[in-house]
Structures are given as structure tokens and as C-alpha cells.
Amino acid sequence: MKIVACNSNLPLAQAVADELEIPLCKTSIRRFADGEVFVEIQENVRGEDMFVLQSTCTPTNDHLMELLVVLDALRRGSARRVTAVMPYFGYARQDRKSGPRTPISAKLVANLLTEAGANRILTMDLHAMQIQGFFDIPTDNLYAAPLFVRDLMTRHPNHEKLMIVSPDVGGVVRARQLARRLNVDLAIIDKRRERAGVSEVMNVIGDVSGRFCVLVDDIIDSGGSLCNAAEALMKYGAAGVEAYVTHGVLTGNACERVQNSPLSMLTLTDSIPATEELKAASNIRQIPTANLLGRAIRAVADESSVSTLFD
């Protein structure tokens, strides 16, 4: 087993390698003058079980192309099996036709990864579960929920007073799983989205008065939806609000918006590397995923069950 680290999240790749107690595969990934990606695997990979770690975060297209070229290099190097480990799967929000003559880009990316040479996909908290069906190769979707539960129980020993809140109807299943693990109540934000990145809270389903609310979501991009939800919960009488989100995309002035919102804390995973704005924000933090990813990689390599990681 060998791990190849692409350039999107080198600290996470190194942390995963440390968890597995193996060195990262020697690789050279560089650009030609015109921006084309050039990859050279500097170790023999013939017959090896290869894992390529790359989050397709900003700049999404560059990181996606980098991953595709690495997959092709490993396939041509006669690797026995190549697993694309994608802590954050970009283009996941384009999982259906949202209107006439629009693409299903998540399916396109699935095709590209397969054609480039991936034999297996290992990712975390896909935006929509049906994306697993876009692949004709085995796809393991890890969950950050156990990490969130452990962190919440540490930070809130009296977690019975918490209330888990889904920021929209589409995230109810994810929020319900967390509420069930903690044995607490669930509330739902009813919102209307006029266009991408713009939403309006219409109602709060559930009595949040006097409860400390924890918003749970898979992606925070501009931060508008989450901050609007936090304001609505405070308006409806919540004692306080914080949020747990798997992937911190945080584009534009999202960090500033979170800092100026009622959110006492926004907890993210390190599936996307921290920006300088995130590091400077007083109410945004990251929790590590290296142990979870390392255990999943070990399970895949040993041909053992991945689902037992979440029992």
C-alpha cells in the first residue's frame, strides 16, 4: 500500500500517512509554463495498492485535473488498484437537472474519474447520497457524524439540553442521524432558495425556545444560509446557536459573515485546508479527520468492512 499526495491538502495527506505509519509516495507534480499539469511518480508502483488523496476544492478545476493526471500515471505505471481518496468531492451540488438544459456535473466527474483509472472512490459526506449511484466502481462514503458527536459530548457534557437543527429540508436525514446518536430533539428550518447562494428562512419547524441549537450541514459556501438560519433560531427564542459543517468551502467574505453572525462557534473538518481568513476567525475551528480516513484506507487495503467504522 502506498499513498500519493496531490497538492490540494498536503497537511491532511501527511497526517493520514502518519496515522498509517507509512511514508508518502515520492511524486513530482508541477506545471508547464502554460499551466498544464505534469506528474511523475518517482517510485515503482507495479502491483501496488495505491491511494491518491485529493480534495477537489478551490481552485476546483485545477485540483480535479491534477487528480485525473495522477490517476492516469498510476494506471500506466501498472498499479494493481487505484483508490481516489477525496475528502471533499467537488461538483457534488450539481447532482440533478435543476432546470432546462443544465448539466449533471457530478455524474460527469464520476465518469472522468473512472475513465482516468480510478478503481475505487473513498469520500466523505457526499452532498447527496444518490451520487454513489453515478459510479460504476465501488464507492465508500464516510460520515463525519461520529467525529461531531465525540466533539459535542466533550464540549457539551450536558448534551441533553441540545437541539439538533437541519438548515433545510434536504439535510433532515443527516441531522436526524446526529440527533439519534445524541438522543436529543430535532428541528428543521423551512427556507426558500431563489437562486444559488441566496436563501430566505420562511419558518422554523419545532420548538427551539430556550434550547441551545446546533445546526448541522455538509457544506458551507458563502455562509448566507447558515447565518440566516442562526438569526432565525435566535429570533424564535433559542438560547444560543452553533454549527457543525463537514466541508468549509467559505468563498468570498464568508468568514467575516460568520464572525458577524449569532453563531457562537462554527466547527468544520479539515477536508478542505484552512485559509488565512479561517485561521484568523475567532469563532471558526477545524477538527481532524486523519484518523477516520486512515482507518478507512486500512480497511479498504485489508479488504475488511468500512461500515463498521460507524457502528
Is 279 designated active site? Answer: no
Quote the CA–CA distance of 11 and 9 in Å, as a whole number: 6
**Residue 304 confidence (pLDDT):** 94
All three cell numbers of 12, joined, read 491532511
Is 217 annotated as ligand-binding? Answer: yes
Does residue 150 have a known ligand-binding role?
no
CB 270 within 8 A of CB 289: yes
The grid coordinates listed for 56 are 477537489
Nearest to 165 by CA among 224, 90, 228, 248: 228
| pLDDT value of position 161 | 85
pLDDT for the residue numbered 198: 58
| Mean pLDDT of all residues in 152-163 | 90
Would you place residue 183 in the very low, low, confident or very high pLDDT band (cuts 50, 70, 90)? very high
Give SS3 for 268. strand
Nearest to 74 by CA among 100, 102, 44, 30: 44
Q: What is the mean pLDDT of the chain?
A: 94
Phi-psi region of 206 (alpha: psi -120 to 50; beta: other; left: phi over 0): left
The conformation of residue 24, written as its DSSP 8-state character, comes to B
pLDDT grade, residue 98 (50/70/90)?
A: confident
- Arithmetic mean of pLDDT, 266-279: 97
Rounded Cα distance, 205 and 209, in Å: 12
Active-site position among 2, 107, 161, 191: 191
Closest CA to 298 of 3, 75, 67: 3
Q: Which domains does the chain have, with CATH numbers?
A: 2-143+291-305 (3.40.50.2020), 145-287 (3.40.50.2020)
* Grid cell digits, residue 259: 464572525
Average pLDDT, integer, range 4-27: 97
Tell whether residue 34 is among the known ligand binding residues: yes
